[in-house]
Chain A
Amino acid sequence: MKNNHLFKSTVKYVPLGEKRESAPEVPEGLLRRCNACKSAVFVDEVKKGFYICPRCNNYFRVPAYSRLRRIADEGSFEEWDTDIAFSNPLHYRGYGEKIRELKEKTGLDEAVVTGKIRIDGEETVVGVMDGRFLMASMGEIVGEKIARAFERATREKLPVILFACSGGARMQEGIVSLMQMAKTSAAVKRHDEAGLLYISVLTDPTTGGVTASFAMLGDIILAEPGALIGFAGPRVIEQTIRQKLPKGFQRSEFLLEHGFVDAIVPREQLRDRLAELIRLHRYKKEAGKNQKSAGQNPVGEGMINEGRTAPKTGASAPMSAWEHVERARDKMRPVGHDYIESLFPGFVEFHGDRHFRDDPAVIGGVALFEGTPVTVIAQEKGRGTKGNIACNFGMVSPDGYRKAMRLVRQAEKFDRPVIFFVDTPGAFCGMEAEERGQGEAIARSLCDLFGVGVPLLSIVIGEGGSGGALAFAVADEVWMLEHSVYSVLSPEGFASILWKDGSRAREAAALMKLTARDLYGMEIVERVIPEPDGLGEVFSRETMDGVAGELKAGIAGFLERYRERDSESLLEHRYQRFRKF
């Protein structure tokens, strides 16, 4: 504020008149200060909306029933287990009173609300934690309600969605609260073994014993933007290591990068995303399908040959092996995400290996392919220099293989076929990759893929480099695009090892038998997909319609061929397919 005397001030002669009944003042509760940007916001508007600061987009905590109103179809909420008796195992003084007070103040019976709702028509069990109730810490009743919700969901064969928000275990209940971590995890396990879907939604803050139990056990883990998610709280960590934590540490984005969260979903989109995910997982295993019906489909050459389709002989002039290599590496060539976009509209991406990192060289997720849910996992080179660098040129890290295998196991749980796209110069050769066990990660993939009881199809779309490619190509059928290549090593590497001269790559390529046609002849692949071959026609995302059409028909045929196979015959077939080499 400033007062100045550049101009003479107003000569005030307004009569004071009678005093106004109500002097200007901001009524209580009209405005509240946003804890992030410090600006005043209208409480009404925030509550009517999604509890988001209109200025800085900061997320406020949402009371449980408000959350339910925004997620559930109107009138669909049926609340469960509101009458669990309170006990005070440590006889902690004042605890009972505190609980009584909170019940009155919040209208909640405990820190979690559970029950059944419909989301866009899809029935699901739901649990929502409410931070107003002792920071939604988990004591006996919270653990009990969550365990019961999972048990009932298991009985009624329903998915579970849990909105986590918690400070952790409830100290007032001591060891009893610690036991809730195991109790809830056990209930999740049974639900999981019944093949049912559990989506965990992490909201601010999710910490301590809740993070270290059911919150991190979702088949799919979503997080709200900017939420604090961790085991130890940031203050505890700072005190322990005597260092200041970097900005963004333990926030949703940090967890996504570190592979613990499938996706960050803005609050406004949560409802739609949840409905979509339930829909994608609604398809139950059909009766009888997974029963081991030995002998139903004789395994052997006949079946393998069924998928074998001789390559069409193109009219174009024959190409040298090296020209194939150049084409397979061409910058214009469609990459993993181009195939996903053109073949799998509505693809929902899942991130992370749940161990260390989300590898951007691998894209994985779920989509409906002509009505059938499939898991799609693609090696991704990225487009343009920036994209290439972001995706590490398609060189997959251990985290990428672990992410792929996580999604494969998920596909098996939900009985979805898996379609791999292979396009890598080879697994990433870097220090970090070795530190995290590149060899182990590839080996584990090769081994475990032989135990996955759902159909696997692998399509080499560009470079199929070495073990890095093979870890995505242990499948029931492997197809190649006409000018893609698949080899034990790059021609440069081959020349350098055998002849100590990497520049003789062209010569090496001719020897290596790495073209689709050669590999078809050697029964390494079942099918060769023709590429546009017109004079001067560049194969790019603009000209990929023909290839996409061929693949679409091919994938439909593959799914049809393998639909009825039981898992035992699938595994035997896969075993024999590789056993013969």
Chain B
Amino acid sequence: MIQKLLIANRGEIAVRIIRACRELGIETVAVYSEADAGSLHSELADQAVCIGPGPSTESYLNMERIMSAAMITGADAIHPGYGFLSENARFARLCERCHMIFVGPPSRVISGLGNKQAARNTMAAAGVPVIPGTDHPVTQVQEGLELAEEIGYPVIVKAVLGGGGKGMRVAYGKSEFENAFLTAQKEAQAAFGDGNMYIEHFVEHPRHIEFQILADAAGNVIHLGERDCSVQRKHQKMIEESPSPGVSPALREKMGEMAVRAAKAAEYVSAGTIEYLLEEDGRFYFMEMNTRIQVEHPVTEWVTGIDLIKEQLKIASGERLTIRQEDVHLNGHAIECRINAENPLKNFRPSPGYISTLHLPGGQGIRVDTGIYSGYQIPPYYDSMLAKLIVHAEDRAQAIAKMLSAMGEVIIGGVDTNVDYQFEILSNEDYQSGKVNVDFLKDHEIGGVKIEE
């Protein structure tokens, strides 16, 4: 078993990992930047090492300094948390070469899954559904028309060299295709000087559904059900829950099986997440696999009763999974809301500053994961998430009621937060009835705020 763990991260996730270690009796080493002196994670760890100035390139992204801190303190393992170096294959490789346990998958797995095209090919070969599309660039509208027919409408035509929405058009049927293709191609030609196009099935208003995976080095893989992360603003998740109101037990079984298959195809080890897009008609497509612990892991922990960080540490120590798939049951309903220091009325502008007063909720079925405290100064260098509020109740309606009650108790003085905005989402009728997809915040006006594309 790991003897001493260095946590190469900050904020709530560092605190979360340290707590797991304290329970397991593993000594901890925190690293912190000059801007994070006095932060909760650096105080709570048994040892703390300052690794450089505030900007993350100088500290939390600086692998040489982090490795030096690990060597100096005699740590035998590094947990990267999420963000920063967590999905950096070079860092994982560095750990491997230094005989340092990296709490995560092997570096080759990270790089394999980090390459979107390669990952898609691996999954397609393993029989995991991927979004159907052309496997070569198309330049002729006639050929495109035939391929679109095979792919199935609606389709989206994309410039091979595309970006920023240029050279992209959707066609809902055969009659629209020619126009869409030629317009997109013309735009692409003008913008990128290249008329090579891809055609792909257009996944309209999908839910973002992801499956939690645990895999050990012996090749045992299980899934811990799904999380529905459809409430998101510009790909930033805001509310996550488990189970999803859009996934039936039968669908869960199917998607879960595919998720296990996907993890096996990638030769995955550690905790990981398979991201899917789920269409209203129940068709789902593999998007990508995240090779780290995720922000929203607590909702899975609560419905399954499994401590994901502890499982990660055990797997990293070489232990086998002791949980079998048939032991996994989703009990009740869990919801997580991310509380950020940002002002939704000012285009979600980050609001770093001094937290003058703080009251966080507690009680039965309520969990708060955070690194802030009263008198805490939020540094301007990092993301704006202050806390995660997680609730658990018997069913979704009761969970929402609990979340509303808990959210209503939150007081964070001194900085702007999205608490009121989250409260409005939770109060929205469509949200409450579970009618949610990734465009929810674009299609609904929440507290006077509507998210533009």
Q: Which residues of A are at the interface with B, using a C-beta cutoff of 8 A?
A: 1-4, 6-7, 9-17, 20, 22-27, 30-31, 39-42
Whole-angstrom CA separation of A6 from B100 in the bound complex: 29
Select from chain B the residue with minimum beta-carbon distance to A24: B100
Q: Is B349 an interface residue (CB 8 A)?
A: no
Interface residues of B in 14-62 (CB under 8 A from A): 21-22, 24-28, 43-44, 46-49, 62
Assess the A7–B76 pair: CB atoms within 8 A. no
Whole-angstrom CA separation of A504 from B44 in the bound complex: 83
Assess the B43–A12 pair: CB atoms within 8 A. no
Q: B44's contact among A7, A16, A17, A26, by CB below 8 Å, is which?
A: A7
Interface residues of B in 93-117 (CB under 8 A from A): 94, 97-100
Pick the interface stretch among B66-74, B252-260, B303-311: B66-74
Beyond known contacts A7-B44, A23-B76: 9 more, CB 8 A cutoff = A10-B26, A12-B27, A14-B25, A16-B3, A24-B100, A26-B98, A27-B98, A30-B94, A41-B64
Assess the B99–A1 pair: CB atoms within 8 A. no
Q: Chain B residues with Cβ under 8 A from A40's Cβ?
A: 64-65, 67-68
Q: A10's contact among B28, B67, B73, by CB below 8 Å, is which?
A: B28
Q: Is B1 an interface residue (CB 8 A)?
A: yes
Q: B25's contact among A10, A17, A30, by CB below 8 Å, is which?
A: A10
Q: Chain A residues with Cβ under 8 A from B28's Cβ?
A: 10
Select from chain A the residue with minimum beta-carbon distance to B26: A14
Q: A14's contact among B3, B48, B67, B98, by CB below 8 Å, is which?
A: B3
Nearest first, the 7 A-B pairs at minimum CB distance are A40-B64, A13-B25, A22-B99, A24-B100, A9-B46, A14-B25, A10-B22
Q: Chain A residues with Cβ under 8 A from B3's Cβ?
A: 14, 16
Q: Is B156 an interface residue (CB 8 A)?
A: no
Q: A27's contact among B1, B2, B65, B97, by CB below 8 Å, is which?
A: B97
Q: Could you give 15 example pairs across A and B, Cβ below 8 Å?
A: A1-B47, A1-B73, A7-B43, A9-B46, A14-B1, A14-B26, A22-B99, A23-B76, A24-B76, A26-B67, A26-B98, A27-B98, A30-B94, A30-B97, A40-B65
Question: Given that A1-B72, A4-B43, A12-B25 are known contacts, is A24 also in contact with B1, CB under 8 Å in the complex?
Answer: no
Q: Is B75 an interface residue (CB 8 A)?
A: yes
Select from chain A the residue with minimum beta-carbon distance to B21: A10
Q: B75's contact among A20, A24, A41, by CB below 8 Å, is which?
A: A24
Assess the A2–B48 pair: CB atoms within 8 A. yes
Q: Chain B residues with Cβ under 8 A from A13's Cβ?
A: 25
State how many residues of chain B have any CB contact under 8 Å with chain A.
32
Q: How far is the CB of B338 from chain A (nearest CB, A)?
A: 26
Assess the B99–A14 pair: CB atoms within 8 A. no
Assess the A3–B46 pair: CB atoms within 8 A. yes
Assess the B99–A24 pair: CB atoms within 8 A. yes
Whole-angstrom CA separation of A42 from B90 in the bound complex: 10
Whole-angstrom CA separation of A27 from B71 in the bound complex: 12
Assess the A39–B71 pair: CB atoms within 8 A. no
Assess the A25–B25 pair: CB atoms within 8 A. no
Q: How far is the CB of B95 from chain A (nearest CB, A)?
A: 8
Q: Chain A residues with Cβ under 8 A from B62's Cβ?
A: 39
Q: Chain B residues with Cβ under 8 A from A1's Cβ?
A: 47-49, 72-73
Q: How far is the CB of A39 from chain B (nearest CB, A)?
A: 6
Q: How far is the CB of B110 from chain A (nearest CB, A)?
A: 17
Assess the B71–A24 pair: CB atoms within 8 A. yes
Q: How far is the CB of B337 from chain A (nearest CB, A)?
A: 27
Whole-angstrom CA separation of A245 from B3 in the bound complex: 53
Assess the A25–B98 pair: CB atoms within 8 A. yes
Whole-angstrom CA separation of A30 from B93 in the bound complex: 11
Q: Chain A residues with Cβ under 8 A from B64's Cβ?
A: 31, 39-42
Whole-angstrom CA separation of A1 from B75 in the bound complex: 13
Select from chain B the residue with minimum beta-carbon distance to A33: B64
1/0 per residue B324-350: CB within 8 Å of A? 000000000000000000000000000
Assess the B70–A3 pair: CB atoms within 8 A. no
Q: How far is the CB of B313 from chain A (nearest CB, A)?
A: 10
Q: How far is the CB of B386 from chain A (nearest CB, A)?
A: 20
Assess the B48–A24 pair: CB atoms within 8 A. no
Assess the B1–A25 pair: CB atoms within 8 A. no
Q: B70's contact among A4, A14, A24, by CB below 8 Å, is which?
A: A24
Q: B76's contact among A9, A12, A20, by CB below 8 Å, is which?
A: A20
Q: Chain A residues with Cβ under 8 A from B94's Cβ?
A: 30, 42
Q: Chain B residues with Cβ under 8 A from A22's Cβ?
A: 99
Question: Given that A10-B28, A10-B46 are known contacts, is A30 also in contact with B1, CB under 8 Å in the complex?
Answer: no
Q: Chain B residues with Cβ under 8 A from A4's Cβ?
A: 43, 48
Q: A6's contact among B2, B22, B43, by CB below 8 Å, is which?
A: B43
Select from chain B the residue with minimum beta-carbon distance to A27: B97
Q: Chain A residues with Cβ under 8 A from B1's Cβ?
A: 14-15, 17
Whole-angstrom CA separation of A473 from B100 in the bound complex: 72
| Residue from the set B2, B21, B65, B98 with the largest chain A CB neighbour count within 10 Å | B98
Assess the A11–B97 pair: CB atoms within 8 A. no
Whole-angstrom CA separation of A7 from B41 in the bound complex: 11
Whole-angstrom CA separation of A11 from B22 in the bound complex: 7
Q: Chain A residues with Cβ under 8 A from B71's Cβ?
A: 24-26
Question: Given that A3-B47, A30-B98, A40-B68 are known contacts, is A14 also in contact with B24, CB under 8 Å in the complex?
Answer: yes
Q: Chain A residues with Cβ under 8 A from B44's Cβ?
A: 7
Assess the B46–A23 pair: CB atoms within 8 A. no
Select from chain B the residue with minimum beta-carbon distance to A5: B43
Q: How far is the CB of B11 from chain A (nearest CB, A)?
A: 17
Q: How far is the CB of A33 from chain B (nearest CB, A)?
A: 9
Whole-angstrom CA separation of A31 from B71 in the bound complex: 13
Q: Chain A residues with Cβ under 8 A from B100's Cβ?
A: 24
